Structures are given as structure tokens and as C-alpha cells.
Amino acid sequence: MRQVEGREWWLWGSAVTVTLVLTFGILSLAFPGLQRPTDTVYLLNLKEWVRGLAALVLLFDIYTMYQQRQLQRIRRQLAEREQLFQLITENAADMIAVIDPNGQRLYNSPAYQKILGYGPEDLAATSSMDQVHPDDRARVMEASAKASSTGRGERLEYRVRHKDGSWRFLESTASAIQSPEGETLGLVIVNRDITQRKRAEERLAHQSFHDSLTDLPNRSLFLDRLQRIVTVWRRHSELKFAVLFIDVDEFKVFNDSLGHAAGDGLLVQIAKRLTAGLRGADTVARSPVGEDAELFGGESTLARPGGDEFAVLIEDLHDPSDAIRVAERIQQRLAIPFDSNGQEIVLSVSIGIAFSNNRGMTAQDLLRDAEIAMYRAKSSGKARCEVFDHAMHACAIKRLQLETDLRKAVELNQFRVYYQPIVSLRSGQIVGLETLSRWQRPESLVMPAEFIAVADETGIILSINRQLLYEACHQLRSWQGLFPSDPPLTLNVNITSKQFAQPDLASQIGNTLQETGLDPGCLNLEITETIAMGDADRSAVVLTELKALGVHLDIDDFGTGYSSLSRLQRFPVDTLKVDRSFVSRMDTDVDTREIVRIIVMLAHGLRLKVVAEGVETQAQADLLTDIGCELAQGYLYSKPVPAETIEQLLSNAANASANTRAKAASSRFA
Ligand code: C2E
Ligand code: CA
Ligand code: CA
């Protein structure tokens, strides 16, 4: 436009100049002053002059008209472009702004009203920086300075206040308007509303650091917070903080009995109670006004690292005893009954506490220490709170070592099968053998009490017992051939909870039976009543599946769990193994003897056979015979022994019975 205006000035200037020159020329010719009008030369010259000037004027007019047309065309084009610009800016979804080099608004597209709620009057009354978030202002100014100097700014994200007070995220690019001389006359800024995208990104980030059920920070976020504190603490060791690891006692039982949805509901209620009592960090809701006394008044972070576990980071402790007090209050608060679909639920938690105490420690170490202390609280009776100490650490290290050693032992084939006879109390004959594992380490023979539990928790038991089952079935088949009897010798094999939880347990056992050719009717699977009762519905299904193989089912350690005989009726079991603790007290305690008598009686009523475990004395054996118990197992007959010893025992028994038969025959013929 400036160029058009320049050209117009030039045109008008030349027109005025030409007009003046022509006027002057004509005047000087019309009023010749010094020359005589009759002079023929002069008259001739005058004509020539007039003709010449007229030609010039004509030429000049043509030129001016041409120029004028050109200017009109340019003007029309400019007007069209302006219309187009207006059409685009007025209808663009993006907000387009033009500002002068001082930040004063020159133009704002109508999208400003749609997106940010500001009308032209609101915008006129403010500068372009007024609505920018204070934290983002420096960045925005820097970006516009850059755009002014280089001509084009970089993409920038910043926050702007909506007229309703909320914050919106904008993504903007700025371009400079420059004069032909390169001077910046203003900036054109195109702003896009990316609030929805930003919120989605934030939600995603939130989800990856929060637990979806309770919306509490997850393990990663908790460790991140904790690590930050640990880092600060390395420089300021006067800071005291603690980690509480909270685990709901017997949560699995609630989950199994109430259903998973109700279990989840319970966890949410626990999270709410904990949240309400802890004031502090932003991820923890502040306790509502009027809520009863806080568990802890300082900064704290509550997280759900997994399953039925919660963790609390308590910052700024005055004294370690504060943490213990918090733990006790948590226990009291969670002891108030919960409501699950109208059902009253009473639960308890075990809490482990670890304090900042060792300069080299990391967040992971602290959380692990708190967890170790929690396990100690569980194993020493639940509903308790324990503070981590170094003996626990040593214990945990030992356990880790045991895990590693166990894995190696599987590879090195260090497990041995021992057998303990089960005898008929009536005939004194060996009728069956229970397989019991031993771990043959180079230096010693390790008993199951030292490794079965860990092997089970870690799943290593699966490899151990697969091997054991195969070997024992194979062995029994061979003994059945060597020492035939009627009914044939049976084999008892223990099933742990990990094995019981395997979906393909029945098919695994079925395969082993097929491979070894052992009659399924000769295999007794021993399952403790605690395992069987854990998830009664599932147990019924699994036990029925196993039963369909043709094997027999024994309830092991009967009397140590919480089950009753009537509940056992639901399961297709064949035999009860009365726990050693009852048998060992039978000969000294009348009440125990009475209990065993009733168990045997009720079991027979349910058509179950009974094996008495841990029979050590003849007195016990006699009492059991009197009561009507048919089978016994214990040191009185034999300790668990290796296969060679069993073979010897079976061979002796076979010889003895052959001798008896021979004697009987000879006495008959004598
Ligand atoms: P359990 O199934 O109750 O096995 C009987 C335990 O009582 C055996 O201990 C046995 O040695 C012991 N015992 C038998 N008679 C007597 C007695 O008269 N007096 C005394 N004081 N004890 C007696 P063991 O072999 O140490 O096994 C302990 C537990 O470890 C077993 O208890 C069983 O639950 C588990 N276990 C052992 N081997 C295996 C295995 O290979 N697989 C599985 N799943 N569990 C196993
Ligand atoms: Ca057993
Ligand atoms: Ca037992």
C-alpha cells in the first residue's frame, strides 16, 4: 500500500510539473512580448510549438491514464487480499493476533471471544501480556523478542487465563511484519488452544504414576518422592523421616469370601480413611474440616505400592517415636469396622517402619526395610507394628541367599526323596509311603522346614515336586512289582498352595501317572485343610478335577486349620491325617484323646479313613487302635528314610510274612 501511495505521489507530482511547464510554455507563446506578431517565421514557429506541446500533452495524458489504471488494479488486488485476510482470520479456529513492537494489540480475531471469552472491549482495555500466566511471561517475552529480531519465532506453549478465571494452554507461533528496510513493525501471532490435548497428556502422566483404584501415588511415584527426600537428607542429616509399610492382614480371605469387587471397595475405603488422617503432600487429599484428630500433622505422602499394601512417607519427624505413634493411630483407625454392602467387616493391618539412618541408603532400600519389618510384624502375630533393625536385614539377606541356593539346587539335582511308611494299625504291615523331600547339600542334609516354605513362596517348589513325583511314582511301580500285596502299596505326595493354584495341576499329575504306568488308585495327594479351605469354591473344582483322575485325596495336618468336618463334606476327600500335635498329647492328656476319638468317629461317619501322624510310642498306637483308627505313621515305625532303606524294610516284611506263612503251613502239616 505504501508503494502504491508512493507511486501515486510521483504521478501527481509529475502531472503538476508537466501542467506548469505546459502552462508556462503556452503563456510565453501567447504573449511573446519581444517578437512581432506579423513575423511569418514567428507565426510558423508558433504553430510548430503548439503542435509539439499538444503532442506532449497527449502523450503525457496517455501515460497518466495508464499509470492510473495500474494503480487501480493494484488497489483492487490489495482490497481483495484484505478481504481474504479478514475472511481467514475472522473464521479461523485459531486465535490470530497482531501486536505492535510494544506489545499493544492491533488486531485480535473473533476466535478470542470463542476460546478465551474476551470481547473486543476486554482486549482493548488490556495489554497482550496481561492474561499470560505469570510463570510463563518471561518465556513469552523472550520468544516475541526473538521473533522480532529474526522474523520468525519458535513454537511456544504457554498458559493464558480464560475470562472465567481458568487456565488454558495455547500453542503459538509468531512472525514479524517488517518494513522493506527490515524494521519490525509488529508481530502476527497464531495461537491454538491445546488445552484438551494437554489435559489428556496430564491424565496419561497421572495414570502412569497413580493407582487406578484409589488414585493414590503408585510405587514409582512414591519411590521418586522418597528419593528426593533421601537426596536432601544427605546434605541435611538433621532431617528425620520414616517410611511405614502397611499390609492388610488376611486380605486374601476377604477377597475370596466377599468377591473381588467388594475387596476393591474395601481397599478404597481403607485408602480414604488413611487419606483423611494424613495432611500434607499434594497427592494426599487434605483432611476435611471437622474430621477427627489427624494421624500426623506434618508433611506426608500416602501411596499404594501394590495389592493390599499401603506406604506412608512421613517427613519432618521430631522424634522416631512419632512414627510409631502414627502407626498405632493408623491401626486404631482401621480397626473401626468397615461396611461392605451392608456387611460389617473387621480387619487389622501389620505395619513395618524404617527410619532414615544410613547415609548410603536409597529410596528402594528404605521401602524394602519397611517391608521386611512388616513381614516380621506379620510373622509375630499380625495386627502389630515392627521397627526395622539390622537383625531383620540379616534375616532377609539370608532368605535371599536361600532363594538363590534353592534355584541352584534344582539345577544341580540336589533334592532327594525320602519315604516314611504308613502302617496298618491292625496288621502292622506297611501299606503306603509318604514322600518327603530332603535337600542334600555338600555339607549337610537340609530338612523341609528350612526350605519348603521359601520354595513354595518363590514357586521353586514346582520344579522340585515335579521331579519328586516322577521319581516316586516310578519307584513305587517298581516296589509294587518286587513286593506284591493286596491291596497294592500306595504313595502319598504333598501338594503345596503354589502347586494347588496351578491351573494345569490335574493334567500334570495325569501325565506323570501315564508316563510311569502307576495306577491312579495308588496315589494319595495330601492337601492341608488350610489350602483346601482358602477359596472353597475353587478348591471344590480343583479337587473334583483331581478326583476324576482316579487318585485319592487326603486332608493333611487335620485339626490345625479352622475347618470343620461338615465343611469338608463338600470336598471329595478319602482320608484324614490327624495332626501330630494331637497324637503326641494323646497319652498324657485326656481331653486330646477325646478330641481324637471324636474326629475318628465323625470321619468314619463320613466314610473317611483316618491316618494318625507322628506316632512315637506304643502307648499312642494302642490308644489309636482302641479308638478305631486304622492307619498310623511315625517314628515308632520308621523315620523318613531313603529308598534303599525302604526297600530293605519291605524286603524284611516280605520275608517275615513268607516265614509266617511257611510256619503256618508247616504247623498245619505237622
Ligand atoms: P507333613 O506332610 O506333615 O509330613 C510329616 C512330617 O512329620 C515329616 O517332617 C516327618 O518327618 C514328620 N514326622 C513323621 N513322624 C514323626 C514323628 O513320629 N515324630 C515327629 N516329631 N515327626 C514326625 P518333614 O519330613 O520334616 O516334613 C515337614 C513338612 O514339610 C511335611 O509335613 C510337609 O508338609 C512338607 N514337605 C516335606 N517334603 C515335601 C515335599 O516334597 N513336597 C511338599 N509339598 N511338602 C513337603
Ligand atoms: Ca504330609
Ligand atoms: Ca502332616
Give the ligand with the smallest distance to the CA of 614.
1
Expressed in angstroms and rounded, the spacing between residue 526 Cα and the centre of ligand 3 is 8
Do 418 and 273 lie in a common domain? Answer: no
pLDDT at res. 283: 40
| Minimum-distance ligand 1 atom for the alpha carbon of 633 | 15
**Ligand 1, closest atom to CA 499?**
44
Which ligand 1 atom sits nearest the alpha carbon of residue 636?
Answer: 18
For atom 19 of ligand 1, the residue with the nearest CA is 614
Q: What is the pLDDT of residue 220?
A: 92
- Please tell me whether residues 81 and 124 are part of one structural domain: no
Q: Is the CB of 579 under 6 A from ligand 1?
A: no
Ligand nearest to the CA of 435: 1
C-alpha cell belonging to residue 167: 487456565
Evaluate whether 188 touches 153 at the Cβ level (below 8 Å): no
Do 465 and 566 reside in the same domain of the chain? Answer: yes
Nearest bound ligand to CA 436?
1
Tell whether ligand 1 has an atom less than 6 A from the beta carbon of residue 437: yes
- Answer whether 0.85 is exceeded by the pTM: no
* CATH code of the domain covering residue 103: 3.30.450.20
The answer, yes or no, to whether residue 525 has pLDDT greater than 50, is yes
Residue 607 alpha carbon to ligand 1 centre in Å = 25
Nearest C-alpha neighbor of 461 from the set 480, 439, 479, 444: 439
Q: Are 576 and 612 in contact, with CB atoms under 8 Å apart?
A: no
Test site for ligand 1: of 494, 508, 618, most ligand atoms within 8 A of the Cβ? 494
Q: Render pLDDT for 142-192 as a digit per residue (tens, 0 to 9).
A: 888 888 888 887 889 999 999 999 999 999 988 888 888 888 888 899 999
Q: Is the CB of 557 under 6 A from ligand 1?
A: yes
Residue 661 lies in a domain: no
> Do 440 and 381 share a structural domain?
no
* Confidence band of 669 (pLDDT split at 50, 70, 90): low
Atom of ligand 1 nearest to the CA of 415: 41
> How many A from CA of 580 to the centre of ligand 3?
7
Q: Are 97 and 58 found together in one domain?
A: no
Last residue of a domain, one of 69, 88, 107: 88
| Rounded distance from Cα 456 to ligand 1 centre (Å) | 15
* Most confident of the following: 54-68, 463-477, 649-663: 463-477
DSSP letter at 486?
Answer: S
Mean pLDDT, residues 330-354 taken together: 91
Smallest CA-to-CA distance from 610 within 626, 595, 593, 596 is with 596
CA of 253 to the centre of ligand 1 (A): 26
Mutating to test ligand 1, I would choose from 406, 417, 452 the residue with most ligand atoms within 8 A of its C-beta, which is: 452
* Ligand 1 atom closest to residue 435's alpha carbon, by position in its atom list: 41
Rounded to the nearest whole angstrom, what is the distance from the C-alpha of residue 528 to the centroid of ligand 3?
8
Q: Is the CB of 475 under 6 A from ligand 1?
A: no
Give the residue, by CA position, lying nearest to ligand 1 atom 30. Answer: 448
Q: Could you read off the pLDDT of 535-585 as tens digits, one per residue?
A: 778 888 999 999 999 999 999 999 887 666 777 778 899 999 999 999 999
Nearest CA to ligand 1 atom 17: 614
Mean pLDDT of the region 368-381: 90
**Distances in whole angstroms, Cα of residue 104 to Cα of each of 124, 125, 156, 185:** 9, 10, 20, 12
Same domain, residue pair 486 and 582: yes
pLDDT tens digits along 114-139: 999 999 888 888 888 889 999 999 99
Same domain, 275 and 318: yes
Q: How far apart are CA 345 and CA 269, in angstroms?
A: 11
The Cα 102–Cα 187 span in angstroms is: 10
Q: Is 614 in the pocket of ligand 1 (CB under 6 A)?
A: yes
Q: Return the number of other C-beta atoms located less than 10 Å from residue 373's C-beta.
A: 26
Asked if residue 286 has pLDDT above 50, the reply is no
User: Which residue carries 481474504 as its cell?
Assistant: 84
Q: What is the pLDDT of residue 627?
A: 95
With 90 as the cut, is the pLDDT of residue 294 above it?
no
Residue 332: partners with Cβ closer than 8 Å, 6 or more residues away? none
Rounded CA gap, 397 and 386, in Å? 18
CB of 144 closer than 6 angstroms to any ligand 1 atom: no
Q: By mean pLDDT, which of 169-178, 279-288, 646-655 is the weakest?
A: 279-288
Q: Within 10 Å of residue 567's Cβ, how many Cβ atoms?
A: 13
Same domain for 450 and 543, yes or no, is yes
The closest residue, in CA terms, to atom 41 on ligand 1 is: 437
Round to whole Å and give the CA distance between 499 and 572. Answer: 18
Q: Report residue 309: phi and psi, to 5°.
A: -110, 145
Q: How far is CA 218 from CA 210, 212, 213, 306, 344, in A?
A: 5, 9, 11, 7, 28
Give nearest CA residue, ligand 1 atom 21: 614
In this model, does residue 309 exceed pLDDT 90? yes
540 CB-contact burial (10 Å; exposed 0-12 / middle 13-18 / buried 19+): middle
Residue 139 grid coordinates: 518465556
- Let me know if residue 550 belongs to a domain: yes
d(CA 495, CA 662): 42
97 lines ligand 1 (CB under 6 A): no
Q: Ligand 1 centre from 421 Cα, in Å? A: 12
Residue with cell 539412618: 357
- Angle of helix 363-379 relative to helix 390-411, nearest 10 degrees, comes to 90
Residue 537, in any domain of the structure: yes
113 in the same domain as 74: no
Domain hosting 626: range is 409-646
pLDDT interval class at 292 (50, 70, 90): very low
Picking from 199, 226, 256, the residue at the C-terminal end of a domain is: 199
Q: For residue 127, what pLDDT is reported?
A: 83
- At residue 246, the 3 state secondary structure works out as strand
Q: Which ligand is closest to the CA of 620, given by its number?
A: 1
In this predicted structure, what is the pLDDT of residue 92?
82
- Is it the case that residue 35 has pLDDT exceeding 70? no
State the chain's mean pLDDT as an integer: 87
Letter string b/e over residues 181-194, b meaning 16 or more CB atoms within 10 A of that residue's CB: eeebebbbbbbbbb
Nearest ligand 1 atom to alpha carbon 436: 38
Tell me if 314 sits within 8 A of 300, measured CB to CB. Answer: yes
Return the H-helix or E-strand segment holding 257: helix 251-258
Round to whole Å and give the CA distance between 339 and 344. 5
Residues found in the chain: 670
Q: What is the pLDDT of residue 245?
A: 97
**Is pLDDT at 271 greater than 50 in this prediction?**
yes
Q: What are 225-260's pLDDT values in tens digits?
A: 999 999 888 888 788 899 999 999 988 888 887 888
Of 355, 388, 421, the last residue of a domain is: 388
User: CATH number of the domain that 598 lies in?
Assistant: 3.20.20.450
Å from CA of 436 to ligand 1 middle? 6
In the predicted model, what is the mean pLDDT of residues 340-344?
87
217 φ, ψ to 5°?
A: -55, 145
Whose CA is closest to atom 27 on ligand 1?
448
* 654 found inside a domain: no
Residues 104 and 32 in one domain: no
Residue 452 lies in a domain: yes
User: Quick check: 213 pLDDT over 90?
Assistant: yes
Percentage with pLDDT > 70 across the chain: 93
Smallest CA separation from ligand 1 atom 42, residue:
494
Query: Which CATH number belongs to the domain containing residue 301 in this structure?
Result: 3.30.70.270
Q: Phi and psi (nearest 5°) for 533?
A: -85, -10
- Domain count for the chain, please give it: 4
pLDDT at 287 over 50: no
Is 634 close to ligand 1, i.e. is its CB under 6 Å away? Answer: yes
Ligand positioned closest to the Cα atom of 640: 1
> What is the C-alpha to C-alpha distance for residues 136 and 132, in angstroms, rounded to an integer?
7
583 lines ligand 1 (CB under 6 A): no
Q: Which residues contact 437 (CB under 8 A, 6 or more apart)?
A: 415, 416, 417, 418, 448, 452, 464, 465, 468
Average of per-residue pLDDT across 299-309: 90
Number of the ligand 1 atom closest to the C-alpha atom of 526: 2
Asked if 532 and 612 sit in the same domain, the reply is yes
pLDDT value of position 31? 67
Give the pLDDT mean for 350-365: 87
Q: What is the pLDDT of residue 319?
A: 79
In this structure, is residue 397 part of a structural domain? no
Rounded to 10°, the helix 390-411/460-482 angle is 50
- pLDDT score for 567: 73
pLDDT at 668 over 80: no
Residue 403 lies in a domain: no
Q: What are phi and psi of 344, to 5 degrees?
A: -85, 125
In this predicted structure, the answer to whether residue 32 has a pLDDT above a threshold of 80 is no
Q: Dihedral of the CA atoms 532, 533, 538, 544 (nearest 10)?
A: 40
Q: How far apart are CA 298 and CA 354, in angstroms?
A: 18
Please tell me if the CB atom of residue 556 comes closer than 6 angstroms to any atom of ligand 1.
Answer: yes
The answer on pLDDT for 288 being more than 60 is no
Using a 6 Å cutoff on CB, does residue 616 contact ligand 1? Answer: yes
- Nearest-CA residue for atom 37 of ligand 1: 436
Pair (485, 587) in one structural domain: yes
**Is residue 581, in this structure, part of any structural domain at all?**
yes
Q: At what angle do helices 219-235 and 195-209 cross, to 10 degrees?
A: 80
Least confident of 1-5, 313-317, 373-377: 1-5
b/e map 609-634, b = 16+ CB within 10 Å:
bbbbbbbeeeebbebbeebebbbbbb
**452 CA to middle of ligand 3, Å?**
13
